[in-house]
Amino acid sequence: MTLFWRIFLLNATVMVLATGLLLLGPVTVSTPVLLTEALIMAVGLVAMLTANAALLRVGLAPLQRLTKAMTTTDLLRPGQRAEVSGHSEIADLITTYNTMLDRLEAERAASSALALSAQEDERRRIAQELHDEVGQTLTAVLLELKHVADQAPGPLRSDLLHVQETTRESLDEIRRIARRLRPGVLEELGLTSALRDLTREITAHAGLAVRPSFDSPVPKLGQAAELVLYRVAQESLTNVVRHSGARHVDFTLRTTPAGVDLRIRDDGHGIGRAAEGAGIRGMRERALLIGADLDLTAPPAGGTEVHLHVPAPQGSK
């Protein structure tokens, strides 16, 4: 039972009992109770209850709005605040709630930044080990296999060549994984080249037709913003390959006066009512770190569209 109905029923009980005592007790307006007096008192009771309900509804409306705000607030979509209204106690409660949201959003942003920084450092370390340790070991194995295959008899040579080819494919796969963990091309050649390399890789290994369209040149956004753009594009394309069943993807990067817009739209079956998974939540957290806006929509034609808007750096023209 809501607070409104508890207070209303309590007041109503008191009023009904008072009216009953007045009607049935020894002290009444007249004895026996006249019908007109009973009607007048009943009408008065209804009027009091109605006025009481209206006043309670108005007085508790700010609490109802606060309850709705509490149930709908999402820290991954910051800026949602309850309207401060009502009398002093209720207004203080709403103000305290908004202050708590400010603190929670700031603490979540700080902890997310630390977690994502640690994640990127770990990815960089694993990629380096894959390249230096596993990659060099497999390269040495390939050289040994080639040396042995050159000296082996015919039937055995065929088997060794097959093993050599399998080892070479494994080496290429490890190098591809290392590039995904640490996009060196992003640091060396810039955002546009890194995104083009990403689309070529997805097209080659996933059988997905990616149609890129990039504005040139793209303004310098800073290392953190460019990494967020790349990771959001990478996660979006990975989700398309794993979950959407799409065959084509439109991949656009546009420069606007307000910043840079990234759009990835597929022709798959869409997200429907499925809950957002860890990948999408991770994209939202990355976007929050640089003050970007991330939206996932279902276009009327079907599929899913991911839109990331990265604001222009301060002081840029």
pLDDT of residue 21: 67
pLDDT of residue 26: 61
Domain extents for the chain? 3-72+86-106, 183-317
Residue-level pLDDT at 261: 92
pLDDT score of 4: 67
Q: What is the DSSP string of 11-73?
A: HHHHHHHHHHHHHHSSS-SSSSPPHHHHHHHHHHHHHHHHHHHHHHHHHHHHHHHHHHHHHH-
| Model confidence, pTM | 0.66
What is the share, in percent, of the chain residues with pLDDT greater than 70?
A: 91
User: What local confidence, expressed as pLDDT, does residue 43 receive?
Assistant: 79
CATH architecture, range 183-317: 2-Layer Sandwich (3.30)
pLDDT score of 308? 92
List of the chain residues with pLDDT < 70: 1-4, 6, 21-23, 25-33, 86-87, 274, 314-317
pLDDT of residue 148: 86
Q: Which residues contact 164 (CB under 8 A, 6 or more apart)?
A: 142, 145, 146, 149
